Amino acid sequence: MQGHVEIFEVGPRDGLQNEPEPISSRDKIALVDSLSKAGFARIEVASFVSPKWVPQMADGAEVLAGIARPDGVRFAALVPNMQGYTGACAAQVDEIAVFASASEGFSRANVNTSIEETLVRFRPILEQARGIDLPVRGYVSCVTDCPFDGAMPPEQVARVADQLFAMGCYEISLGDTLGKATPDSVSRMLLAVQDHVPVTRLAGHFHDTAGRALNNIDAALSLGVRVFDASIGGLGGCPYAPGATGNIATERVDAHLKRLGFETGLDADLLTQAAALAKSLRSGARDDHV
């Protein structure tokens, strides 16, 4: 065996957030509970953003109140601001995540602020989280390509990752938001980021829009990355990145890593069951049963 690689499950949040038809809290809870049984250490289950912008995530507190909480599993929520942080804490999350972009154009489209304004907004969140020992994960989007600004200079990605890490984010997840990354662009980006953030504190978040996600995971593995985000059943994308559907499916990443000789700690049969449930929650799948 080549050692352990962790898959950070983001399907209940990143996967479901863009589904156009409402999904019941009961179904979301069932999905999270099915994932909890499969062996994940961390699952992102909610987003405490304005329901005006992401209505699918409006029931985050209800979902967190309803899920089983087995020992050894941390449940995370995305927060954009102090109001979201307050809501996440009230829902008793185990960790939170903040999100910034390497691209000014994407930052404006996604959160209507500059990169610097976004980072300033996060500082009081990180300070308060530190005071209660609440872990904070940092996301950086558009780490190789942006739908508005084009190719991203690796040094620009490194600057944003460095600032999030310096603020206190325990891990930085680097997102190929468009799914246009190649192994070469991933490697160049990672080499730049590793000059600022230890590779042991980095994660890869690769979309499979162009069918290269597994190749990009391999490139990251070769540089020492040992955490990868994935979405059960391949659910999700990004509403502010045209054509960026296609989160890499957790079950595919798990099988790929195991073929390479890595251990993930995940039960493949339970992943298959969770993937079937996740796919059944898609709008088209649910419409077929109407």
- Report pLDDT digits (tens) over 118-132: 999 999 999 999 999
CB 152 within 8 A of CB 142: yes
Q: How far is CA 106 from CA 62, 114, 243, in A?
A: 30, 9, 14
CB 212 within 8 Å of CB 229:
no
What is the pTM for the complete model shown?
0.94
Select from 77, 9, 12, 33 the least CA-distant residue to 281: 12
CA distances from residue 24 to 30, 213, 221, 283 in whole angstroms, order as listed: 10, 30, 37, 12
When pLDDT is averaged across residues 241-260 and rounded to a whole number, the result is 84
pLDDT digits (tens, 9 = 90+) for 161-184: 999 999 999 999 999 999 999 999
| pLDDT (0 to 100) of residue 71 | 96
pLDDT number for residue 70: 97
pLDDT in tens, 47-65: 999 999 899 999 999 999 9
Exposed e or buried b per residue across 150-166, where buried means at least 16 C-beta atoms within 10 angstroms of its C-beta = eebebebbbbbbbbbbe
Looking at residue 240, its pLDDT comes to 46
Distance (Å, whole) CA 250 – CA 42: 13
Which residue, 71, 10, 18, is CA-closest to 35? 10
Residue 19 near residue 266 (C-beta atoms within 8 A) = no
**What's the DSSP call for residue 20?**
S
**Predicted local distance difference test score (pLDDT) of residue 103:** 92
User: Of 8, 24, 6, 41, which Cα lies nearest the Cα of 221?
Assistant: 6
Res. 145: pLDDT tops 90: yes
Phi, psi angle pair for 7, to nearest 5°? -100, 120
Contact 174, 157 (CB under 8 A): yes
In this prediction, residues 249-256 reach a mean pLDDT of 97
pLDDT of residue 236: 81
Please give the domain boundaries of the chain with CATH numbers for all domains. Answer: 6-288 (3.20.20.70)
pLDDT at 237 over 80: no
Question: Phi then psi for 4, rounded to 5 degrees?
Answer: -100, 135
Check pLDDT > 80 for residue 114: yes
Which tokens in the block code for residue 34?
């099915």
What pLDDT is attached to residue 239? Answer: 45
For residue 105, name the pLDDT band (cuts at 50, 70, 90): confident
Residue 225 CB contacts under 8 Å (≥ 6 apart), including other chains: 190, 199, 202, 203, 204
Query: What is the reported pLDDT for 289?
Result: 40
Any bridge partners for residue 99, and if so which? 139
- Is the pLDDT at 282 greater than 70? The verdict is yes
A 10 A CB-CB count for 142 gives: 34
Which of 197 and 20 is assigned the larger pLDDT? 197
Quote the CA–CA distance of 40 and 35 in Å, as a whole number: 7
The answer to whether the CB of 229 falls within 8 A of the CB of 205 is yes
The residues annotated as belonging to the active site are 238
Q: What is the pLDDT of residue 286?
A: 53
Distance CA 189, CA 142 (A): 11
Residue 46 tokens, joined: 């909610």
Cβ neighbours, 10 Å, residue 80: 22
